[in-house]
Amino acid sequence: MWGRNVYDSISKFLQFQLTVNVVAVIVAFTGACITQDSPLKAVQMLWVNLIMDTLASLALATEPPTESLLLRKPYGRDKPLISRTMMKNILGHAVFQLIIIFTLLFAGEKFFDIDSGRNSPLHSPPSEHYTIVFNVFVMMQLFNEINARKIHGERNVFEGVYKNPIFCSVVLGTFALQIIIVQFGGKPFSCAPLTIDQWLWCVFIGMGELLWGQLISAIPTHHLKFLKEAGHGITKEEIHKEEMTEDMDEIDHAEMELRRGQILWFRGLNRIQTQMDVVYTFQTGQAPVPGALRRQPSVVSQQNDATATKTLSSPTHVGLSSSSSLTNSAGAPPPAAASSTTAGSESVTGGQLTQRLKPGCTPFNLHEAACVLRRCLHVLI
């Protein structure tokens, strides 16, 4: 229930904010192009921005959940955030507000019998004409905020409003601040004080939003084929493709790490066996038997080693291939191998090398242990 309430609160806020944005942008741009001066001044736009952002979020996002939320089906993963009903409300209220604002902008001075503010000089005092336009605009947003409480075509927009004291406080507080701004704002807010009759007309025109909202709710949404949804979520096919791509990346990374570990194992075992062969040769004076104590690698394992070596392309793998070819030879290791073992040190005879070994660790035992480790590795692979 709380999840659906949060989803609906976000949708209510978007419906209200998009309506205000559409009307404010069109009025400011069109008015500036036609009359060479925007009917909504900069400070007034800041106040409108505060109404439609901070105050509206506090009012519409604090609606408590009701049991009626459980009577509806849960929203799907690809459910659009802005439904066709919401799009109908946004466009319908935006059209009504634009008609009222442009009517007051180009014919309001005749209706209220006041001086026109369109032909006033640039730095002239605030006019009653543009103050009425600004005041009517704010009043329509206040009453449209009440309409925004319902986003599924409900007719009773006042249902449960007393259960949300924050909403009531925000609406009443905004109305009180609007009175202070218009009556006492003066030049900073580009407002001139209005009479009681003018205030009543502004409130009456703003209440027209409630009647217009009832008219929009009476129009069936399925008859408006041109309306489109917005804010679609990710479809199941897209989610499946993303998961497959992530899984393939993880598998490739895991295989690369496994292959790197295998090559390090082969490299270490080949070095151990090469050193044991050298020790065995110096001790006994005979070449190690190629088939008895060493398992020859198969063709498949040689191909895997070659492929892994090309993949990693590290200089150490060259030593691996050379040591593998050295240890897999049928005869004794060449003299170059023995000389490379004692490179940079004094020449060591077979007896001296035997004396350096530990008493409990014979060359044959070390060699056999290396062969056992290599066989275990081949079994695991």
Number of C-beta neighbours around residue 55 at 10 A: 19
pLDDT in tens, 15-56: 999 999 999 999 988 888 888 788 888 899 999 998 888 898
DSSP state, residue 62: T
Residue whose pair of structure tokens reads 């129009």 in the numeric block: 219
Bridge partners of 230, per DSSP, are 82
DSSP state, residue 291: T
Q: What is the DSSP string of 237-290?
A: HHHHHHHHHHHHHHHHHHHHHHHHHHHHHHHHHHHHHHHHHHHHHHHHSSPPPT
**Contact indicator for 55, 174 with CB cutoff of 8 Å:** yes
* Cα(27)–Cα(217) distance, integer angstroms: 25
Please report the pLDDT score of residue 274 as a whole number: 81
Is this structure's pTM higher than 0.75? Answer: no
DSSP state, residue 163: G
* Cα(142)–Cα(175) distance, integer angstroms: 8
pLDDT in tens, 52-96: 888 988 888 888 777 777 777 777 777 777 888 888 899 999 999
Question: 338 or 283, which is more confident?
Answer: 283
Angle between helix axes 315-327 and 236-284 (nearest 10 degrees) is: 50
